[in-house]
Amino acid sequence: MSQSQKEPTHKIIYNLMGFPVETTVEGKADTLKALLKRILEIGGTPAAVPATTSSPEKPNTPKCVQHKSPMKRGRKGWYCPRRNENTGEFCEETA
């Protein structure tokens, strides 16, 4: 596989025998699924860490009025990356 087609990297945080463990695995979803299955088989439990999908919020990052979540910077300014729960369309809030 070429460097431009690098395998996705996934970070897993779980508890094993009362201790928090952080594991990084490279591969597609089937590789991740197999690893998660094995962790559960040996007694691992999900850690109480909220999943994040964006980078840490900076102090001057505006928040979406509707969702109260941090906006992302785009080519034309700030936008809300969330979707409307009813319609599935992207939020139209900008800053």
Q: Per-residue pLDDT tens for 4-25?
A: 567 788 888 899 988 889 988 8
Contact 14, 44 (CB under 8 A): yes
Distance (Å, rounded) from C-alpha 76 to C-alpha 33? 38
How is the chain split into domains, by residue range?
Answer: 3-46, 53-95
Kindly tell me if the per-residue pLDDT of 55 is higher than 60.
no
Q: Kindly report whether the global pTM for this prediction surpasses the value 0.75.
A: no
- H or E, element range at 14: strand 9-16
